[in-house]
Structure 1
Amino acid sequence: MFFFLSKLIWFFIQPLGLVLLALLLAAAGFLYRPRRLARRLVIALTLAFAAVCLLPVGDLVMLPLENRFQKPERLPATLEGIIVLGGPEQPTLSGARGEPMLGGAAERLFAALDLARRFPEAQVVFSGGLGDPWNGVPPQSDIFRDTMLMAGLPEQRMVLEGQARNTDENVLLLKQMLQPQPGQNWVVVTSAYHMPRSMGLFAKAGWKVVPWPVDYRGLPPMLLPRPDLVEQVEVLNIAVHEWIGLVAYWATGRIDTLFPGP
């Protein structure tokens, strides 16, 4: 229930969802009374959207998330496993095209390959589901496996978990599967903006892991906006999604602190 409710709520409260909702309300206001309120709503919406496009709002919201955890200067001499959290895979497109397709967070897979090369004895662990066999949509774990095989990683080094639908389930299902023991060294690879929530969940599960953040999106605030306005809005969308996720996980007791840190 929490999973489906979170997806429904996010559809309407994400930045573009709010724009859509405001436009629908404004349209209803023009069709019915009071039209003055509808005009004010359109003006406010236009000014807010212009601010998002022209000011570094997304970067200001994103940077605290991405800067919360840093890569360690030195990794342990040995690693039990390299954990990669799902995200870059595009299941629907992969199913439609019949080959693995990746999105903007593909750095997670490249980082995992680099760590796998540096630590040849470590398991490469992946968690991610969201498949739909009725519509030919493979789980994220299948796309990860096929991509890593294409990159030359032997399948016997992989441990795949293909049922998790969100980060909370990533951690819980992986802990059940791997049964980590005290003294083992595990590295977690995920996007930098996603690392605070991930580390909070691992801490809640009593699983000590080393963060390995990748896939940075935020830029230091600049006087001029990004040349790509879609990218400008996308950065804000991702950051708002992550902050809302932190609040929701903290409010429901899934993490112990609102903004987990080192």
Structure 2
Amino acid sequence: MLLLSKSIAQLLIPPASLILLGLIGIYFWQKRWGKKLTLACLILLWLFSTAPVRNILTSSLEYQYPAYSFNQILPNNTAIVLLGNGVQEQAPDYQYQDTLSRFGMMRTIYAAQIAKHTGLAIYATGGTPLNEHAASESSVMKYWLITLGIDATHIYEENQANTTWENATFTTALLKKKNINSVILVTSAWHMPRAVWCFEQQGLTVIPAPTDYLTDQATYDIRSFLPRWDRLGDSGDALHEYLGLFWYKLKYD
């Protein structure tokens, strides 16, 4: 079921959706609407690959919450919750051991920084989505947290969650055992709105700690309006979040 839902989501988001619609347009090329559909798909593919459009999509997600302030006063009974983002399986540069994805590594580094500053425990949450033979996200994050200088006794694992909703529900069950009702939530900035919503639905007080922003702060030049593969990926991540938040509110609200 998880594989099916992720496959459907992948097909609904560019570039897959635009490729499929473009192929439909080509098949019906003799009709006026077929030509228009193909042209529209090409234009959208170009636009989603540019910096201005990518920034519009990502900034509305990433700036819903301010950056975490290291000087703020925290409520009692607070812990850090670190959300996983997949693992790179059998990484050659790490002796073919599973390691963190780019987003997962950036989240882990930031969580370690906050933990060193606050002295709070970290709850690393993430299972083995779509590959039960891989190391769990939580175990790989724990390894890197220890490598980054965090005491192993201050790290707790939740290794069953395969979705953001499960991250929230399963981790909350662990937190309640320790009477923790406030969390510093560490995840990628573009993922923060959906993550905050899920954890607030569990009755927790959430202090967002977004990291690894996608929105480009540089001044635009001619290259900003030329298509790039990485910008298309960023636009896809943003569209995935909009779709995911819509689906979660429809399903769980």
TM-score of the two chains, using structure 2 as the length reference: 0.84
Check the 8 A contact 1:91/1:138 in 2, yes or no. Answer: no
TM-aligned CA distance change 1:77 to 1:244, over 3 Å? closer
| One-letter identity of the residue aligned with 2:160 | Q
Measure, in 1, the Cα distance between the counterparts of 2:51 and 2:131: 43
Aligned to 1:233: 232
What 5-or-longer segments of structure 1 have no aligned partner? 255-262
Measure, in 2, the Cα distance between the counterparts of 1:22 and 1:228: 20
Measure, in 2, the Cα distance between the counterparts of 1:179 and 1:168: 17
Q: CA deviation at 1:92?
A: 3.0
- State which drifts further: 239-248 or 69-78: 69-78
Aligned to 2:87: 90
Q: CA deviation at 1:196?
A: 1.3
TM-aligned CA distance change 1:79 to 1:227, over 3 Å? farther
Check the 8 A contact 1:26/1:41 in 2, yes or no. Answer: yes
Indicate yes or no: 2:189 matched with 1:192. yes
RMSD: 2.8
Aligned to 2:54: 58
Indicate yes or no: 2:43 matched with 1:43. no
Q: CA deviation at 1:60?
A: 0.6
Deviant stretches of 4+, over 6 Å: 180-183
TM-score of the two chains, using structure 1 as the length reference: 0.81
Aligned to 1:171: 168
Q: Aligned to 1:218, what secondary structure does the other structure show?
A: coil
Indicate yes or no: 2:86 matched with 1:110. no
Aligned to 1:22: 21
Check the 8 A contact 1:85/1:189 in 2, yes or no. Answer: yes
Q: Percent identity?
A: 21
Aligned to 1:123: 121
Per-residue deviation, residues 141-180 of structure 1 (Å, max 9, x unmatched): 1211222222232222110001101110001001112216
Check the 8 A contact 1:126/1:160 in 2, yes or no. Answer: yes
Q: Aligned to 2:205, what secondary structure does the other structure show?
A: coil
| One-letter identity of the residue aligned with 2:99 | P
Q: Aligned to 1:116, what secondary structure does the other structure show?
A: helix
The count of corresponding residues between Structure 1 and Structure 2 is 247
Check the 8 A contact 2:109/2:148 in 1, yes or no. Answer: no
What 5-or-longer segments of structure 2 have no aligned partner? none
Q: CA deviation at 1:77?
A: 7.3
Indicate yes or no: 2:227 matched with 1:212. no
Please state which structure has a larger fraction of its residues in strand.
Answer: 2
Q: CA deviation at 1:101?
A: 3.6
Aligned to 2:251: 252
